Structure 1
């Protein structure tokens, strides 16, 4: 496992069990599997509960794969920063520079152009969802709303989009924007698909063997919504916004790489090390909040100077959160196979667990 230098693996001890039990309660009866992965100082643990399906199946383990939903966006941001570090693009590049041949950009009415940095900071002015997606999602809204929205519809939707605010001027969370960014990165990355780019630039260097965009990955936890098993999540037109799935063990590798971005040496390479640092740099202050936004990552500074970086995710069948604090060498990934609902508080409970670990009081 790529990890903190000198870390002591603690996969099968009791450390973190209390927090896992807390997350199991927060996930509620809708989830059959819950994973908590933690790094704190020199200690690491991956705690698991339940089985991959309410109907039975194999036990949940550190290698059980969950759908990550919007946590995918942090991978897209890291790909952007890696391509920039290798000189294959620049954060200030206009979108038009990396559009596939024959694609028309959005119509920007004021200012412009939209730049890659705007897509990675949700300031492009693009709407939350691309035109045409809701129409295509009606039949599968409760299970797989993105499944019928492929690249052809993305191309048509972009051409139909009008941006009415000056790019870079306003924050507006956009699956459309980061999904489009993922597509542009495949052009800049010499035409490799998003899944291939992810595997080549991030997963292999960091030793993330279970991380994939494939809906049919082995050892996957079945997603559930209101206790009902769902088919695997599919998001073919916007994979950079929500297609990645990963295990608790892999996410611990991923987060630990962010904790020590400059110490990867030949294991990561200079460009990926630079990219891991670049995604953590605050870019703007969020409206009506003291929080800031980095490249996709949310950034919160505590009164005692600790920096908390975090992102949550959800599909119809899974809820997830990842977070890390560089000052205390703390990282947490929390995963369950029940989709978000108004009644659950899994993501908030996971964030509360992370805050305690980041203060050095978790895991007792």
Structure 2
């Protein structure tokens, strides 16, 4: 068994040990695409075989779509990465208080350097009753406005890395406000449709969806009404591989400038950043690592019932997506196995 086959097998084993019933591993290497599907969409007689179009929740992998949306709008001249976020929020909304002369800019939100906390103030109180299933569901627009009024940024924006669902969620809200479209509609118009992504969406749809599981228990679909840009995107393995392929060869897509821009390193990450190692860099949301002379770009995501990994290597024209319908394990083995598939593919 070669390195890629061994890594794929390890990913499937890791997902199975965490109670997944459906696993998809999609690989582009040596000019060939393969979407491997294992298991069924859930437990019980209504479950169907997992296919390349079976949709999984992507969790924080959604943030890479938001970064591409930001870059696409910047390329169209609709906004600038250096634009302060305050000017893009609704006029009657409060803005985070910043204790420095430097405002929070869109670039800060896309690089986790805004100084905003990981979660909005007040979210935990609404999340606790549904902590193991749908913790964001009760955090609506009214509560987001209240959170903004309670937010104070004490460090200078742009100075320090601090991973923030709140920040990227707020970025999506700002982009939607500038375009006067809901985030899901805007993403479809500017990114999903131009890339030809057929199964990718921000809401549960009528197509074949896997059922999420946590510790073997089936969960309802994930809802994140106030912060969809941080974690609401869903996709099948075939679509996700198509999305990654566009990053390898941006020219045919109409989003060439934006796809190049999201790959430009912006800052060096501390070794304590999620999934990072000393020397890693952050682009627009994407993590960047030099490994054996290769540039690897990657990100992971999870909801309560799903785990996702995606990565690509432009020099070798390699892309990998790994999806499982079980929540992230503490040992991170499924995500690490997805990363090992990326490392092994194309060697």
TM-score in terms of structure 1 length: 0.90
8 Å contact from structure 2 (residues 23, 38) kept in 1? yes
Shift of 1:217: 4.5
Give structure 1 stretches of 5+ with no counterpart. Answer: 1-14
For the pair 1:254 / 2:243, whether they are aligned, the reply is yes
Which of 320, 332, 335 matches 1:332?
Answer: 320
Query: Which residue is equivalent to 1:4?
Result: none
Q: Deviations over 1:252-310 (max 9, x none)?
A: 1100000001x21xxx22xx110000000000000232000000000001242x10000
Shift of 1:28: 2.2
8 Å contact from structure 1 (residues 66, 221) kept in 2? yes
Rounded Cα–Cα distance in structure 1 between residues aligned with 2:76 and 2:314: 25
Rounded Cα–Cα distance in structure 1 between residues aligned with 2:258 and 2:331: 37
**Mapping of residues 1-364 of structure 1, within 5 Å:** 19-29=7-17, 30-56=19-45, 57-189=47-179, 191-261=180-250, 263-264=251-252, 268-269=253-254, 272-288=255-271, 289-304=278-293, 306-343=294-331, 345-358=333-346, 360=347
Rounded Cα–Cα distance in structure 1 between residues aligned with 2:281 and 2:191: 25
Identify if the C-alpha distance between structure 1 residues 303 and 23 changes in structure 2 by more than 3 Å, giving closer, same or farther: closer
Q: Deviations over 1:190-215 (max 9, x none)?
A: x1111101111111111101001113
Identify if the C-alpha distance between structure 1 residues 343 and 299 changes in structure 2 by more than 3 Å, giving closer, same or farther: closer
SS at match of 2:61: helix
Rounded Cα–Cα distance in structure 2 between residues aligned with 1:217 and 1:300: 38
Q: Deviations over 1:206-260 (max 9, x none)?
A: 1101001113442010000000000000000100000000000000110000000
Rounded Cα–Cα distance in structure 2 between residues aligned with 1:20 and 1:48: 11
8 Å contact from structure 2 (residues 7, 337) kept in 1? no
SS at match of 2:161: coil
Could you list the structure 1 runs, at least 4 aligned residues long, displaced by more than 4 angstroms after superposition. Answer: 15-19
SS at match of 2:288: strand
Rounded Cα–Cα distance in structure 1 between residues aligned with 2:235 and 2:155: 36
TM-score in terms of structure 2 length: 0.95
Q: Report the count of equivalent residues.
A: 337
8 Å contact from structure 1 (residues 16, 45) kept in 2? no
Shift of 1:19: 4.4
8 Å contact from structure 1 (residues 34, 49) kept in 2? yes
The Cα RMSD (Å) is 1.4
Give structure 2 stretches of 5+ with no counterpart. Answer: 272-277
8 Å contact from structure 2 (residues 8, 337) kept in 1? no
Higher mean displacement: 277-286 or 56-65: 56-65
